[in-house]
Amino acid sequence: MSALPGLPVETDLPGRVGVLVLGAGLAGCAALLAAAEAGRYALLLEKTGEIGGSTVKSAGLSAFAGTDEQAEQGIADSVELLREDLVEVGRGRGDPALIDLYCEHQLAAYRWLKEHGVRYGEIHAASGQSAPRSHPADTTRMLHLLLAAAGARGARVVLGAPAHRLLHDGARVTGVRLADGREVLADAVVLATGGFSMNPELLAAFAPQMENALRQGGAGNQGDGLKMAMALGAGLRDTPYIKGTYGHYHVEHPDEDGTGILAVYKGAIAVNREGRRFVDESRNYKEIGDAALAQPGVTTWQVFDARTMALANDEVPIYEFAGRERAGMLLSSGTVAGLEAAIGLPGGSLQRTVAEYNAALRDGRADAFGRAHLSGGVGDPTPIDRPPFYAHPSGTVVLATYCGLTVDTRMRVLDWWGEPIGRLYAAGEITGGFHGAGYMTGTSIGKSGVFGRLAGRNAADEESELQW
Ligand SMILES: Cc1cc2nc3c(=O)[nH]c(=O)nc-3n(C[C@H](O)[C@H](O)[C@H](O)COP(=O)(O)OP(=O)(O)OC[C@H]3O[C@@H](n4cnc5c(N)ncnc54)[C@H](O)[C@@H]3O)c2cc1C
């Protein structure tokens, strides 16, 4: 998303502001608006020439519980169930204070976003959710709405302005220096520079297990903010839990929008280059991603039939099988033998795998990998026997880094001793502690909106040296 008309984008850099926000993804835009609503002169610096970061590349799903849309669709969900799921999916490693904070503020943030014009589509279930709570929204429109509202309250945005170093007077952060040497002083700084999925060196340092994974995200997401805060002694959380997502087309393709597809959750099996299955396909897509990375050549295929194709839904990116067929991203054949040859698998291998899978289902025998459902605990596996047959080349992609700076419940950045680094705040993918050892779909966009708003508001509470 480049600068759209009506946005408060400027080229001049003020020398001093109240709240300085770094990064124009959802966390930064929410922080900017919240600070402006609190009456502060707020400025956002974005490194690239575009607004959006990973936010506008995403599938746009937010995890909220207790919403109007859920009620309209007759979905029973609650804040308590959300809290239980978050604790469970993070295997108890998520910071309970941040989980509580999210649960306490998610509905207010959802209402705030809606008041600013954000609209959510049909809710569906996804990874780690025991009730459907993935709320899809157009994220480009969302950011535009937040920035336009912030601009109406005097906030400003400067694009192509990469923050390079945090300025610190020994007691607190006082502003930033840009890569070109210019400086902006501020009463408080909010780091919202996203994760580091596009920085191979940082990935190698924190997640060597992702060496063979593909990478996706905003072009500017190189971990700049993380490094700037680490230079001031900031602590880190959750770095061991960086995971990749399964289902991404593993060859560069102009129609790969970055989300991949998950035909496995509608009936497909996943096979490796030996034509063998390698995982219980109902597991969450991070675990399947790990299993796929361990396969020879890290190349796998999701194999399905006409029955699964009939469940395609072009409205939901991960179920957009028909769209991918139209884009020429699927291999297909009238027979399993033909599909096996089209993929280039060893002769007879896929035919054997499909025959064994179908026979176990027909005879009611336990699945070789323990698969009892389609996705999580939902849906019954179906045989792969209705032509035509399809294969989608599928790899594991790091879309987000899930770990990052240690923050407290005011979104203040903490050092390794748990002490706040004066007047430094952070929100969004740059922060750690919330997801723990696992991941619920929609909680990255969710935490960017919920915690971004809080960070902006709390930063605005800092004592001001600015008259405006
Ligand atoms: C393909 C894909 C699909 C996804 N789908 C989902 C989903 O459906 N649901 C979900 O919850 N999550 C999803 N995610 C993850 C989610 O999109 C991100 O975690 C979230 O949008 C991060 O928001 P953010 O505001 O923290 O960072 P971003 O949106 O990445 O924004 C950070 C911004 O900071 C800028 N920046 C970086 N360094 C500097 C600097 N030095 N100075 C100034 N600016 C800087 C960047 O250029 C960027 O614009 C997906 C991610 C991808 C890639």
- The answer to whether residue 407 sits within a structural domain is yes
**Cβ atoms of 403 and 237 closer than 8 Å:** yes
pLDDT band at residue 1 under the 50/70/90 scheme: very low
**Cβ atoms of 296 and 273 closer than 8 Å:** yes
Q: Long-range contacts made by residues 238-241, C-beta under 8 angstroms, separation at least 24? A: 238/93, 238/402, 238/403, 238/404, 238/432, 238/433, 238/435, 238/436, 238/437, 239/206, 239/207, 239/403, 239/432, 240/403, 240/437, 241/93, 241/402, 241/403, 241/435, 241/436, 241/437, 241/438
445 CA closest ligand 1 atom index:
11
Ligand 1 mutation pick, 221, 444, 447, max ligand atoms within 8 A of CB: 444
What pLDDT score was predicted for residue 259? Answer: 77
Q: How far is the CA of 429 from the centre of ligand 1 (A)?
A: 6
- If asked whether residues 254 and 234 sit together in one domain, one would say no
What pLDDT score was predicted for residue 338? Answer: 98
- If asked whether residues 230 and 312 sit together in one domain, one would say no
Helical packing angle, 336-343 and 349-363, nearest 10°: 140
Mean pLDDT of 171-183: 96
- If asked whether residues 67 and 46 sit together in one domain, one would say yes
- If asked whether residues 21 and 157 sit together in one domain, one would say yes
What pLDDT score was predicted for residue 467? Answer: 55
* Tens of pLDDT, residues 55-78: 999 989 999 999 999 999 999 999
What pLDDT score was predicted for residue 283? Answer: 87
* Tens of pLDDT, residues 302-333: 999 999 999 998 878 889 999 999 999 999 99
What pLDDT score was predicted for residue 466? Answer: 64
Ligand 1 mutation pick, 43, 113, 199, 445, max ligand atoms within 8 A of CB: 445
- If asked whether residues 181 and 269 sit together in one domain, one would say no
Domain boundary among 356, 382, 398: 398
- The answer to whether residue 467 sits within a structural domain is no
Residue of minimum CA distance from atom 47 in ligand 1: 220
* Reduced DSSP (H G I as helix, E B as strand, rest coil) percent helix, strand, coil of the chain, to 5: 35, 20, 45
Neighbours of 380 (CB within 10 A): 9
Residue of minimum CA distance from atom 5 in ligand 1: 58
Our CA angle for 422, 427, 431, nearest 5°, is 90
218 CA closest ligand 1 atom index:
30
* Tens of pLDDT, residues 449-468: 999 999 999 999 998 876 55
Looking up residue 272, the CATH number of its domain turns out to be 3.90.700.10
What pLDDT score was predicted for residue 256? Answer: 74
Domain that holds residue 126: 9-241+402-460
Percent of the chain with pLDDT over 90: 85
CA distances to 8, 50, 61, 210, 406 from 142, rounded to whole Å, are: 15, 15, 12, 31, 27
What pLDDT score was predicted for residue 90? Answer: 93
Look up residue 172 and give its DSSP letter: B
- If asked whether residues 25 and 163 sit together in one domain, one would say yes
What pLDDT score was predicted for residue 124? Answer: 84
Residues with CB under 6 A from ligand 1: 22-28, 45-48, 52-55, 57-61, 162-163, 192-194, 216-218, 220-221, 224-225, 258-259, 399-400, 428-429, 442-446, 448
pLDDT at 260 over 70: yes
pLDDT band at residue 101 under the 50/70/90 scheme: very high
Q: How far is the CA of 246 from the centre of ligand 1 (A)?
A: 19
Looking up residue 167, the CATH number of its domain turns out to be 3.50.50.60
Domain count, the chain: 2
194 CA closest ligand 1 atom index:
27
CA distances to 73, 134, 156, 388, 419 from 121, rounded to whole Å, are: 11, 9, 30, 32, 41
What pLDDT score was predicted for residue 5? Answer: 61
- If asked whether residues 443 and 387 sit together in one domain, one would say no
Mean pLDDT of 186-205: 97
430 CA closest ligand 1 atom index:
26
* Tens of pLDDT, residues 138-156: 999 999 999 999 999 999 9
* Tens of pLDDT, residues 2-13: 445 678 888 899
- The answer to whether residue 358 sits within a structural domain is yes
Amino acid identity for residue 359 in this structure: A
Q: How far is the CA of 152 from the centre of ligand 1 (A)?
A: 24
Domain boundary among 398, 419, 451: 398
**Cβ atoms of 307 and 382 closer than 8 Å:** yes
Domain boundary among 352, 383, 398: 398
Phi then psi dihedrals of residue 417, to 5 deg? -95, 5
